[in-house]
Amino acid sequence: MKIIVKPLAILWLIVSSVAFATVVEHELAACADAATAPAGARSGPFSKAPALGIHLGFLEHGKYDAITDVPGVLVGQVTQIEGSGKLIPGKGPVRTGVTAIIPRRDVWHRKVEAAAWSFNGNGEMTGTAWVNESGFLEVPILLTNSLNVGRVDDGVVSWMIRQYPKIGITDDVPLPVVAECDDDFLNDIQGRHSSPQDVITALDSAASGPVAQGGVGAGTGMMSYLFKAGIGTASRVVSAKDGGYTVGVLVNNNAEARQNLTIGGVPVGQNIRDLLPASGTPGEGSIIFVIATNAPLLHDSLLRLAHHATLGWARTGAISRTGSGDLVIAFSTANTVPHYPQAGTYPLTAMDLYHMNPLFQATVEATEEAVVNSLLAGQTMVGRDNNRVYGLPHDRLLQIMHRYGR
């Protein structure tokens, strides 16, 4: 069973847990024994931090509180949930998927300024040597699991050739940007179940608007702070006097230890010591950050923005462990880098670095909330060998926040 999740079909993110269970009945059927989890692990509603009264930072968020609040940015996802029970390597159970972020339509001919950075390098994000060498991004960004990078790369190439038939003949060749996290605790990762066609489907379905979070797309089999997590997104808009620019962040969150979890300065992980993953022992995990903005930033300034994403992650308690691949890519849609320009020069608008502080604030806040949103959207999931990861219980979380005056 493959579930294509389009950003415009996400009403379940703002409904109660009962409605959520109805909408994703097919997922619960595949993970039937998740219903035996403690009541606190199944509570809802499953929504974004502001909807629960958790306000992180002081800047306003955009219309969708998502990376798609940056004009032109599109997101598409394919979620794969199949089978249950004992692991049969190469067969299942399957708990995985792909997430596609397209900076703008026709990014091949109208490239965007970009920069990539490795905070901790125990992971992979392909194509970033050229991103940092050239200073631009000319392909979509794809997220997947650790062993599926090659097949996803193949899918991107096929999609690009379909869009631009002269590639490799009279045109240049693309270097796909594909980033991974390890979902082997819940998923048959040896099976490499996300096919090139799944990538094409995700790219073709990419749209603006609301973005599905939690155990969807590349985040299907992910966990963080030993709770179910995965995809999370948020945005912030700086004041009109600072330019009115938007910063949107999307993460695939799969890292860090329970005791470190902090939300709004409250030591949540130290107050929820039960609901630990059952049946197996998860690894250390990783996290991928994708930052988009419409502020006119060039490569060097985008690299500075990428650095600040990790400050937002740190606010949630992260320390970036040795086994973690913590990789960041940032891009700006404000300028257009032409495709093989005839002229020897082309115009760009650049923000002075001394005016960037509001954008740093926006990046930190949006990243912090994106990480938290990935947890709030996480539903209890049972995967291969009946390994179970619990969702963060909203009722207990709010009780803890209230106890600390938040």
Within a 10 A sphere around the Cβ of 302, how many other Cβ atoms?
27
Rounded-to-integer distance, Cα 103 and Cα 142, Å: 11
As a whole number of Å, the end-to-end CA separation of the chain is 42
- Sign of the dihedral through C-alpha 36, 216, 176, 353: negative
Q: Where are the beta strands (DSSP E) in 88-245?
A: 94-102, 110-121, 136-137, 141-145, 177-181, 223-224, 227-228, 230-237
Q: Which residues are catalytic?
A: 286, 324, 326
Residue 262, both tokens:
């902090």
Residue 116, both tokens:
């990539």
Check if the beta carbon of residue 17 is closer than 8 Å to that of residue 45: yes
Residue 45, both tokens:
């509603």
- Sign of the dihedral through C-alpha 120, 125, 126, 132: negative
Question: What DSSP element (H or E) covers 389?
Answer: strand 388-389
Rounded-to-integer distance, Cα 272 and Cα 266, Å: 12
* Phi, psi (degrees; rounded to nearest 5) at 164: -135, 85
Amino acid at 244: G
* Phi, psi (degrees; rounded to nearest 5) at 189: -70, -25
Check if the beta carbon of residue 75 is closer than 8 Å to that of residue 232: no
Check if the beta carbon of residue 93 is closer than 8 Å to that of residue 193: no
Rounded-to-integer distance, Cα 270 and Cα 259, Å: 5
Check if the beta carbon of residue 237 is closer than 8 Å to that of residue 62: yes
